[in-house]
Structure 1
Amino acid sequence: MLRTLTVSSVALFLSTTVAAQENLSTPGTKEVYWTGSGEWIFSAPILDVNGSDQGAVVRFSGFFNVQSMLNYDLSNSFGLFTGLSIRNQGFIYQVPDTSLRYKFRTYNVGIPVGIKLGNMNKNLVYLGYEIELPFNYKEKRFENEKKEDKFNVWFSDRNAPFYQSVFLGFQGPGSTSLTVRYYLTNFHNQDFEETKDGVTYKPYDGLNANLLTVSLGFGLFDGTALEKTINKEIGDPQAFRR
Structure 2
Amino acid sequence: MKKALPTLILGLFLYFPALSQTKTVDSKKPYWTSGGEWIFSSGTLDNFNNVVRFSPVVNLQVLANFDKSEKFGWFTGGTFRNVGFIYDESQTVRKKVRNYNLGIPIGLKFGNMNGSFVFGGYELEMALNYRERKFINEVREDKFNVWFSDRVNFFQHALFVGVALPKGTSIKAKYYLTSFYNQDFEASDGSGNLVKPYQGIDANIFYISLNFSLFRNWELYDFDED
TM-score (norm 2): 0.86
Q: Which amino acid aligns with 1:173?
A: P
- Separation of aligned partners in 1, 2:219 and 2:27: 16
CA offset digits 1:78-132 (Å, max 9, x no partner): 0010010000000001124x21000110100000001001111320100000000
CA offset digits 1:185-225 (Å, max 9, x no partner): 100110100012111000000001011100001238x958x
Q: Does 1:126 align with 2:119?
A: yes
Select the residue among 201, 221, 224 that pairs with 1:229.
221
More helix by share: 1
- Separation of aligned partners in 2, 1:118 and 1:35: 18
Alignment of 1:179-198 (within 5 A): 179-195=172-188, 196-198=190-192
Q: For structure 1, which segment, 112-121 or 27-36, has the greater mean C-alpha deviation from structure 2 after superposition?
A: 27-36
Select the residue among 108, 126, 144 that pairs with 1:151.
144
Q: Which amino acid aligns with 2:57?
A: F
- Separation of aligned partners in 1, 2:105 and 2:99: 18
Query: How far apart are residue 12 of structure 1 and its match?
Result: 11
Query: How far apart are residue 142 of structure 1 and its match?
Result: 0.6
RMSD (CA atoms): 2.7
Q: Which amino acid aligns with 2:135?
A: F
Select the residue among 128, 141, 150 that pairs with 2:134.
141
Q: Which amino acid aligns with 2:79?
A: S
Q: Which amino acid aligns with 2:38?
A: W
Over 3 Å counting, the alpha-carbon distance change for 1:15 and 1:145 in structure 2 is closer
- Separation of aligned partners in 1, 2:33 and 2:62: 6
Q: Which amino acid aligns with 1:95?
A: E
Tell me the equivalent position of 1:176.
169
Q: Which amino acid aligns with 2:109?
A: K
Matched-pair contact (CA < 8 Å) for 2:161–2:174: yes
Unpaired runs of 5+ residues, structure 1, are: 1-6, 233-242
Matched-pair contact (CA < 8 Å) for 1:121–1:223: no
- Separation of aligned partners in 2, 1:190 and 1:86: 25
Q: Does 1:101 align with 2:99?
A: no
- Which gives a bigger RCO, structure 1 or 2 (Cα 8 Å, sep 6+)? 2
Matched-pair contact (CA < 8 Å) for 1:123–1:175: no
Matched-pair contact (CA < 8 Å) for 1:88–1:108: yes
TM-score (norm 1): 0.81
Unpaired runs of 5+ residues, structure 2, are: none
Query: How far apart are residue 32 of structure 1 and its match?
Result: 1.1
Select the residue among 210, 213, 216 that pairs with 1:219.
213
Question: Secondary structure of 2:57's partner?
Answer: coil
Question: Secondary structure of 1:14's partner?
Answer: helix
> How many corresponding residue pairs?
215
Tell me the equivalent position of 1:38.
36
Query: How far apart are residue 227 of structure 1 and its match?
Result: 3.1
